Chain A
Amino acid sequence: GAVVSQHPSWVICKSGTSVKIECRSLDFQATTMFWYRQFPKQSLMLMATSNEGSKATYEQGVEKDKFLINHASLTLSTLTVTSAHPEDSSFYICSAREMGARAKNIQYFGAGTRLSVL
């Protein structure tokens, strides 16, 4: 149980285009999902917290107009990197927290999406 699917796993795009990444909880409902960014050999940096049916909460320094987050259902959150540039190239990872699991804050992670912007 507790499987999180992230798609696509790898995407290459041209500078200036937009890329959408999907994060789905397959066997549980997630009122809260999280989006992280990971640079090579670095830790995960939280970008934003996505709550179902409401606006995402962005961490300081993360441009909300650049990284659009939508959490339209209890099993799906999407991250759209708008007008991507080479500096946006990174490994993006989502996680989902099961409903009712807020106290333990156990997050299940997707396999990540490697974004390469040419």
Chain B
Amino acid sequence: GEDVEQSLFLSVREGDSSVINCTYTDSSSTYLYWYKQEPGAGLQLLTYIFSNMDMKQDQRLTVLLNKKDKHLSLRIADTQTGDSAIYFCADQKGTALIFGKGTTLSVSS
């Protein structure tokens, strides 16, 4: 299967929490990343987590890592319309980053 897998779409209402899930295959990963891509733009690093951590919180963003299940999630609290974008989970492979196909988050008001 793919190295990094994500669900393709998520639709939420403004003010709700969004949870984007990701699974990866490489158990030797040291860091895992979340990037955001707005239409026609490059990728913006949102956050990253060291593999020996279970959770990392940064303002409205919470990253949960279950290393045993190789599962990573990104929770966005109080989701806003400006959060509408594609969110990519990324894993390390040597010096390269391996990206999932991205989850399109749609926020309705």
Chain A residues packing against B (C-beta within 8 Å):
4, 6, 32, 34, 42-44, 46, 49, 93, 95, 102-112, 114
Contacts and interface: CB of A to CB of B under 8 A. Distances in A.
Contact of B42 (A32, A43, A93): A93
Contacts, number: 50
Nearest to B29: A105
A19 B74 CA distance: 38
Given A105-B31, A106-B45, A43 B40 contact: no
B101 interface: yes
Contact of A104 (B31, B41, B43, B88): B31
- Chain A at the B interface: mostly helix, strand, loop or mixed? strand
Given A32-B95, A34-B96, A46-B96, A114 B101 contact: no
Contacts of B27: none
A111 B41 contact: yes
B44 interface: yes
Size band of the interface chain B makes with A: 20 to 34
Given A43-B88, A44-B88, A6 B42 contact: yes
Given A43-B88, A43-B102, A105 B42 contact: no
B99 interface: yes
Contacts of A95: 43, 97
Contacts of A112: 40-42
Contacts of B40: 112, 114
Contacts of B98: 46
Contact of A105 (B44, B88, B97): B97
Nearest to A48: B96
Contact of A93 (B43, B48, B102): B43
B80 interface: no
A58 to B, nearest CB: 12
